């Protein structure tokens, strides 16, 4: 199998390389933008055929110089920052780039899998259904979510839904996310402080119906995520846009307690002010509706929540391996 993975040095992308290697697949073209980041470390130990910077790859795509025998394109490359306010950059990087790559895949009849996001659901006021008609009415809260929504809409409005497989990732956590800075999971960002100060800090709530720390997310372990992606790589005729979460929401307090439990420490949680710049864009509840995923024949056995946190804590404690898969 010949595979192209954009965003292949990133969080989910590099974990997918690990999964592909586990399945005996190494004829992989990795596409990313490394710049001055430490993302390159996610590629160490992975078996792949070649690497291209994202702009060089797009140029070759436009010149029709990409291997004609490619079996699948998995487009995970994007700016995923929910605090980036450069709308022009987001539209070019997340929306226009995705369109060009999708058109290339359609012309070559190559299965095209891509990353959407649960950020498209905005405040969740109409729920978390990934049915096509629901997708048409979503109202994202930030430009990241909107750039992802716009590509989903382009696919739907142009009758291309039977040519793509999109993944609306919920709150993914796990190894290989260290380079994401403020976009890392709370587990990764808090780990050193928990070890040093024996406490964890969470945002206060600014809604009366949610106590501090009781805001809820559908947290999904990255090992589950790459298993789900691989299922669709193996079944390219199963197309559509699918939620990728566990279908169960957990509070930030539950997450904190799971971390303390994994470290065999008493739970100590403090709450601090949420920055004003994100208070009106903050999601208080997310939970994936998995009925469409199940109709597609995926009956995945997810990591139990506490087991997933414990497994990840093991990577974070292993300083010599820098918490990589």
**Which are the catalytic amino acids?**
144, 180
Measured CA to CA in angstroms, residue 166 lies from 55, 104, 113 at distances of 22, 16, 6
Q: CB–CB of 157/131 below 8 Å?
A: no
What sign for the dihedral angle of Cα 211, 216, 222, 227? positive
Cα 237 from chain centroid? 22
The 8 Å CB, 24+ separation contacts for 18-27 are: 18/46, 18/226, 18/325, 19/226, 19/227, 19/229, 19/230, 20/230, 21/46, 21/47, 23/230, 25/1, 27/1, 27/2, 27/3
Give the CA-trace dihedral at 54, 58, 60, 62, to 10 degrees. Answer: 180
Q: CB–CB of 221/289 below 8 Å?
A: no
Pairing state of beta strands 164-169 and 240-244? parallel
Dist CA 31 CA 29 (whole Å): 6
What sign for the dihedral angle of Cα 114, 118, 122, 126? positive
């Amino acid at each position: 199998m010949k595979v192209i993975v954009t965003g292949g040095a990133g969080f989910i992308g590099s974990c997918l390389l690990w999964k592909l290697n586990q399945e005996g697949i190494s004829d992989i073209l990795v596409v990313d933008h490394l710049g001055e980041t430490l993302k390159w470390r996610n590629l160490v130990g992975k078996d792949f055929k070649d690497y291209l910077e994202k702009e060089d790859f797009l140029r070759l795509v436009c010149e029709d110089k990409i291997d004609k025998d490619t079996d699948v394109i998995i487009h995970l490359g994007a700016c995923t920052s929910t605090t980036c306010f450069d709308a022009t950059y987001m539209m070019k990087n997340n929306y226009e780039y995705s369109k060009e790559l999708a058109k290339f895949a359609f012309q070559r009849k190559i299965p095209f899998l891509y990353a959407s996001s649960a950020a498209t659901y905005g405040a969740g006021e109409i729920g978390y259904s990934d049915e096509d008609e629901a997708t048409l009415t979503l109202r994202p809260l930030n430009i990241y979510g909107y750039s992802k929504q716009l590509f989903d809409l382009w696919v739907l409005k142009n009758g291309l839904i039977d040519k793509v497989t999109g993944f609306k990732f919920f709150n993914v956590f796990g190894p290989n996310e260290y380079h994401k800075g403020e976009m890392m999971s709370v587990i990764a960002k808090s780990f050193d402080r928990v070890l040093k100060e024996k406490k964890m800090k969470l945002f206060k709530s600014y809604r009366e119906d949610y106590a501090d720390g009781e805001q809820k997310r559908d947290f999904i372990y990255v090992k589950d995520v790459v298993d789900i992606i691989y299922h669709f790589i193996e079944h390219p005729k199963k197309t559509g846009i699918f939620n990728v979460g566990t279908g169960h929401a957990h509070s930030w307090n539950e997450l904190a307690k799971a971390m303390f439990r994994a470290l065999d420490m008493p739970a100590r949680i403090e709450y601090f002010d949420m920055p004003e710049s994100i208070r009106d864009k903050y999601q208080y509840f997310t939970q994936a509706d998995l009925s469409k995923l199940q109709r597609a024949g995926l009956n995945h056995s997810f990591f139990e929540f506490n087991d997933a946190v414990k497994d990840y804590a093991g990577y974070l404690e292993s300083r010599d391996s820098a918490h990589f898969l």
